[in-house]
A and B are shown apart, each in its own frame.
Chain A
């Protein structure tokens, strides 16, 4: 009997979580729990990280020593070049800012640092160090490293969880070529994404860039680079072209990202 009751309670909780009207209740519970748990977790991480580094260094002392020598040489060279580099760095910063302008336009962003990734083996997510208190809310797009990274799916007081575009639940409406549209569909962590709902024999080429379409009720503003075509082929009798795509953003380098304060128009 106990087991039956527990199963019914579990199913009810899942149902409440999936129900739009009561989702705020379960997300509120998660938010409170996260506000309590996040500082504790961070405290433990702060304690164990140096211990981990100590052991990593102790087991690999020779390598650390040679790395240290190499770093000292590099520091010496960098100091000598520092004065000359100032001008170049300013130029580089301006170029990078310009590079970001086309797809962010005048949208305001919140810079954030990634503090965790893939808390579960079944999701492709990252955790950022910005939350509701910093102006980050559920549904905000996240960009960085050259394109769209994902969407904020949970926002707590000082942290938020971002569903990456490679997650099995992620779907992004895109446009490419001559006003063609499709859906970039995440296939789970480590798997190639697919471009769906593209009619057979639609002209595409490897390396072609897909941009967010921004169509009505879209979850993203238009014009953000999402993915590039990796391969494509047409199967006889298939209702759509088989296209695999790679994320435009480098999802292996997400130390820093921008959360875009944008909500779909109502």
Chain B
């Protein structure tokens, strides 16, 4: 990740944070809303492998942690693990397929939300496990499918050297 990429990533994280906290929180279904946070590490991992996914997940999670009433560092931890895990999982897949980002985004978002509840309960927020995960997943997962493509475009712009963002077939995940 170059210095220019870092600046662009910071901008993308800021834009996504603002969209989440202004538009997404207003899109409520039964009290739950789509969660853009997890799409950043997921798409970064899809485009540039597990390590970039982990780094983007950590920094985006930290930015979100600044605005959430949950333990500081929890979103960073989950984002980091989610980015790394997604990168490892999609290794070897042909990532130029148009349908891959929405499907991976849906699956990984479900994993991310579940991980957040479990790690939150273990690391100081026991109330996290009391949240009904099913309605949260029912809202967040289709949201991830719909929003994956624009977020892939944004992260692809921030990581211009990423092979997948140039439309190449990637088999290794790392650079």
Binding site for B on A (CB under 8 A): 2-3, 6-7, 9-14, 16-18, 26, 29-30, 33-34, 37, 40-41, 44-45, 48, 52, 116, 118-123, 125, 153-154, 161, 163, 167-170, 186-191
Contact = CB atoms under 8 A, between A and B. Distances in A.
Contact of B73 (A13, A34, A122, A191): A13
29 contacts: A2-B51, A2-B54, A3-B80, A6-B58, A6-B80, A11-B73, A11-B123, A14-B74, A17-B73, A33-B66, A34-B66, A41-B21, A48-B22, A52-B26, A118-B28, A120-B68, A121-B35, A121-B113, A121-B136, A122-B70, A122-B117, A122-B127, A123-B68, A168-B129, A168-B130, A168-B131, A170-B127, A188-B131, A190-B132
B71 A17 contact: yes
A7 B123 CA distance: 13
Interface string B46-84: 000011001100100110011111111110110011001
A10 B75 CA distance: 9
A3 B51 contact: yes
Q: Quick one: which of B30, B76, B125, B127 has the most chain A CB within 10 A?
A: B127
Nearest to A46: B22
B69 A153 contact: yes
Contacts of B80: 3, 6-7, 10
Interface string B137-155: 0011000000000000000
B16 to A, nearest CB: 13
Contact of B127 (A44, A45, A168): A168
Contact of B21 (A119, A154, A187): A119
A17 B72 contact: yes
A186 B77 contact: no
A7 B51 CA distance: 12
A122 B129 CA distance: 8
Q: SS class of chain B's interface: helix, strand, loop or mixed?
A: helix
A146 B50 CA distance: 51
A155 to B, nearest CB: 11
A7 B66 contact: no
A153 B125 CA distance: 13
Given A2-B55, A120-B70, A121-B136, A13 B127 contact: no
Given A3-B51, A10-B80, A190-B135, A48 B70 contact: no
A48 B20 CA distance: 13
Interface residues of B, number: 52
Contact of B71 (A2, A6, A18): A18
B66 A188 contact: no
Nearest to B17: A37
A59 to B, nearest CB: 15
B66 A14 contact: no
Given A7-B80, A11-B123, 16 more contacts: A6-B54, A10-B76, A10-B80, A16-B73, A18-B71, A26-B72, A30-B72, A33-B66, A118-B25, A119-B21, A122-B117, A168-B129, A169-B126, A187-B130, A188-B130, A190-B30
A169 B125 contact: yes
B54 A3 contact: yes
A13 B72 CA distance: 6
Nearest to B51: A2
A40 B126 contact: no
A14 B18 contact: no
B168 interface: no
A29 B71 CA distance: 13
Contacts of B66: 29-30, 33-34, 37
Contacts of A18: 71, 123-124
B72 A14 contact: yes
Given A7-B77, A10-B76, A45 B67 contact: no
Contacts of A116: 25
Contacts of B26: 52
Contacts of B117: 122
B69 A163 contact: yes
Nearest to B70: A120
